[in-house]
Chains A and B, each alone.
Chain A
Amino acid sequence: GAGVSQSPSNKVTEKGKDVELRCDPISGHTALYWYRQRLGQGLEFLIYFQGNSAPDKSGLPSDRFSAERTGESVSTLTIQRTQQEDSAVYLCASSWVGEGTEAFFGQGTRLTVV
């Protein structure tokens, strides 16, 4: 597609349920990032993929969070046993790998845990 696509755009889930968030990056972009943004806050780094591998998972807040990427394309962020503090907008971005290459963002998934 022309841009980064995220689905769903909105997700309401009950506390304790698992959720999957999907990101379709721009075709050919080998770098993919997941961020979390709480209301009125800045971007919180979660994980970075270069191709299919994740050289930096340091931002994942707990072992309830995991992410995978297949075929240098689609990525899925999974949150198990959701908690109310997981409520936020989850943003995905993709870019070429290289010096000074800008990242392009999707519109995000707004997750609400009730």
Chain B
Amino acid sequence: EDQVTQSPEALRLQEGESSSLNCSYTVSGLRGLFWYRQDPGKGPEFLFTLYSAGEEKEKERLKATLTKKESFLHITAPKPEDSATYLCAVQGGSNYQLIWGAGTKLIIKP
């Protein structure tokens, strides 16, 4: 069964303290892995798509990496405005549906 697990559930960091969020997945035939950011009261906002193991993508203080079993979202020197819930989803199998993780709530303290 296709499955996505994100850890930790919540992460509190001081401003400038770098860390990583994890997304572990089990899917038959990965077509893509997606990272989204969700702010309170808003719909998820697309960040990255990764297609194959070894791929990396960067945007400002965020860098996403992918292996055959998991993806990491690395955040470097975060700022309070990076506080949000980060969601991971995979697309695979015989259809194009998205399988979602439960998210990691990231809180950056000034």
Contacts and interface: CB of A to CB of B under 8 A. Distances in A.
A107 B103 CA distance: 18
A42 B102 contact: yes
Interface in A100-114: 100-108
B110 interface: no
B97 A106 contact: no
A97 B46 CA distance: 16
B63 interface: no
Contacts of B103: 42
Contacts of B32: 99-102
A12 interface: no
A31 interface: yes
Interface of B: 31-32, 34, 36, 42-46, 49, 51, 87, 91, 95-98, 100-103
A15 B102 CA distance: 29
A103 B97 contact: no
Nearest to A41: B102
Contacts of A56: 95, 97
Contact of B43 (A31, A98, A101, A108): A108
25 contacts: A4-B43, A31-B96, A33-B98, A41-B102, A42-B100, A43-B44, A45-B100, A48-B97, A56-B95, A91-B43, A93-B44, A97-B96, A100-B31, A100-B51, A100-B91, A101-B32, A101-B91, A101-B96, A102-B32, A103-B34, A104-B46, A105-B36, A106-B43, A107-B43, A108-B43
Contacts of A4: 43
